[in-house]
Amino acid sequence: MEIIKEGPKGVTEEGRKVATDRCVEYKEAIQDYIDAKKNIPCGLDLNGQYESNKTRILSVLKAGEHEWNDWKWQVRNQIRDVATLAKIIPLFKDEFDQIKKVEKEVRWGISPYYVSLIDPDDPFCPVRMQSVPSIQEALDSSIVTEPETILYNSPAPCITRLYPDRLIINVTNACSMFCRHCLRRRDIGSENVLYARESIKEAIAYIKQNTEIRDVLLTGGDALMVSDEYLDWILSELDGIDHIEIKRIGTRTPVVLPMRITDELCEMLEKHGTVYLNTQFNHSREVTEASAKAVEKLTKAGVQVGNQTVLLKGINDNKHVMKKLMQDSLKIRVRPYYIFHCKKLEGIRHFRAHIEDGLNIMEYLRGYTSGMAVPTYIITAPAGRGKTPVNPNYILNTNVDGQVLFRTWGGHVMKYDNER
Ligand code: SF4
């Protein structure tokens, strides 16, 4: 092979000059982000703070490193009483009584691991806002529910079906951390339940009878709150159905309980061929060493990990924060998949941003960062009519003298020849 010293041929001096000018434009286009991102911490850089929080939590819970790394200990020791929480992080004025008020209406619980990610001095810490109940939940007395989603989309026990070729099996309502913005807070109820094998068998029978189903998502609650053995059984049943091509797992454990991703779990998942896992990182602060290790194990077992962020007011409804999250998640091999617009449901309306905010974020992602860091922005249609993508519009006119008029990510208006 010939070695050419100056790289690919054909670039003229004038071409080099144009390219250099364009590069100045590119740099200017992201200068605001380069300045802003210095103030958006990534969990990978906060190890010292997290370790010191962990030491404090372990001393309150009278436990050691061994227990901390045991996911079952984490679940058993989920922090769900305000007195214990107050020993771990300072509560702000009236917060003790406010949490007491909220817990009469809806349960809360935080894994010790996830509490360790809270900045104790910041009342607006994004981890705190997602996990510690806020009085806003109790103040929202409107009854905004979506009964049709459940009523009209469950053709068999444990199944939710909204699309032609895929469906959901709900395996449990349990979660290791009850996210304050949870869209399924009504299903979470007041007690953990595991759906019985008989119900799951009926769900499997439905899938066998409907050969157009090729993709099954196991979720809950959190699908990884069930035992490895139970999950292995369901996945084996699905493996036995010829028309099932892929299995998916919906879980927030890589974010809120990364110790759940054990070697044994990964060995079991590896046996089941094409398994995808979708999780929910909502802020760079959640992208930690522990999460990175969990994702690495999954990846080595052949499980691809995607991220379904929820657009949350005060947490990530900022174009720089969202871009940093997309870039930080890619650093640990988590591929951005969706940004969900938060639904209008009772108790979570204070987390809602406007659709315009989401569109602005999308506008600022496309072209300004790698395409892999650009997820699809989704609104969930009412009455269980499914996910609907909403995107900034780049086409200005589909026919201007046979050409399509469009704008580029950078704002250049151009024509595209649409003729064959
Ligand atoms: S892990 Fe998922 S289902 Fe569980 S509380 Fe959080 S958002 Fe809801």
Residue 179 alpha carbon to ligand 1 centre in Å: 5
Choose the residue to mutate in 179, 224, 260 for probing ligand 1, maximizing ligand atoms within 8 Å of C-beta: 179
Choose the residue to mutate in 170, 180, 184 for probing ligand 1, maximizing ligand atoms within 8 Å of C-beta: 184
CA-closest residue to ligand 1 atom 5: 178
In order along its 420 residues, the chain shows pLDDT tens digits of: 877 777 787 888 999 999 999 999 999 999 999 999 999 999 999 999 999 999 999 999 999 999 999 999 999 999 999 999 999 999 988 999 999 999 998 899 999 999 999 999 999 999 999 999 999 898 876 666 665 666 788 999 999 999 999 999 999 999 999 999 998 877 777 788 888 999 999 999 999 999 999 999 999 899 999 999 999 999 999 999 999 999 999 999 999 999 999 999 999 999 999 999 999 999 999 999 999 999 999 999 999 999 999 999 999 999 999 999 999 999 999 999 999 999 888 889 999 999 999 999 999 999 999 999 999 999 999 888 899 999 999 999 999 999 999 999 999 999 999 888
CA-closest residue to ligand 1 atom 1: 252
The identity of residue 37, as a single letter, is K
Same domain (yes/no): 43, 159: yes
Same domain (yes/no): 402, 370: no
CA–CA separation, 108 and 99 (whole Å): 9
Residue 159 alpha carbon to ligand 1 centre in Å: 18
Predicted confidence at residue 144, as pLDDT, reads: 60
Same domain (yes/no): 413, 339: no
The identity of residue 15, as a single letter, is G
Q: Are 284 and 243 in contact (CB under 8 A)?
A: no
CATH code where residue 380 lies: 3.20.20.70
Same domain (yes/no): 210, 292: yes
Q: Which atom of ligand 1 is nearest to the CA of 187?
A: 3
The identity of residue 292, as a single letter, is A
Choose the residue to mutate in 171, 182, 351 for probing ligand 1, maximizing ligand atoms within 8 Å of C-beta: 182
Question: Considering the entire predicted model, what is its pTM?
Answer: 0.96
Predicted confidence at residue 141, as pLDDT, reads: 67
Predicted confidence at residue 222, as pLDDT, reads: 96
CA–CA separation, 266 and 254 (whole Å): 13
What is the count of structural domains for the chain? Answer: 2
Q: Are 309 and 336 in contact (CB under 8 A)?
A: yes
CA–CA separation, 387 and 385 (whole Å): 7
Predicted confidence at residue 384, as pLDDT, reads: 82
CA-closest residue to ligand 1 atom 6: 179
Same domain (yes/no): 39, 171: yes
Residue 402 alpha carbon to ligand 1 centre in Å: 49
Same domain (yes/no): 261, 379: yes
- Quote the domain boundaries for residue 411: 393-420
Q: Which atom of ligand 1 is nearest to the CA of 178?
A: 5
Same domain (yes/no): 370, 401: no
CA-closest residue to ligand 1 atom 8: 182
Q: Which atom of ligand 1 is nearest to the CA of 252?
A: 1
User: Is residue 269 in some structural domain?
Assistant: yes
Which residues are near ligand 1 (CB < 6 Å)? 175, 178-179, 182, 184, 221-222, 252
Residue 175 alpha carbon to ligand 1 centre in Å: 6
The identity of residue 210, as a single letter, is N
Q: Which atom of ligand 1 is nearest to the CA of 221?
A: 3
Same domain (yes/no): 241, 365: yes
Same domain (yes/no): 302, 364: yes
The rounded Cα 230 to chain-centroid distance in angstroms is: 24
User: Is residue 381 in some structural domain?
Assistant: yes
Whole-angstrom Cα Rg for the chain: 24
Q: Which atom of ligand 1 is nearest to the CA of 220?
A: 3
User: Is residue 6 in some structural domain?
Assistant: no
Same domain (yes/no): 282, 233: yes
Residue 180 alpha carbon to ligand 1 centre in Å: 9
Phi-psi region of 175 (alpha: psi -120 to 50; beta: other; left: phi over 0): beta
Same domain (yes/no): 353, 399: no
User: Is residue 345 in some structural domain?
Assistant: yes
Q: Which atom of ligand 1 is nearest to the CA of 256?
A: 1
CA–CA separation, 118 and 115 (whole Å): 5
Same domain (yes/no): 229, 138: yes
CA–CA separation, 47 and 191 (whole Å): 34
User: Is residue 3 in some structural domain?
Assistant: no
User: Is residue 15 in some structural domain?
Assistant: no
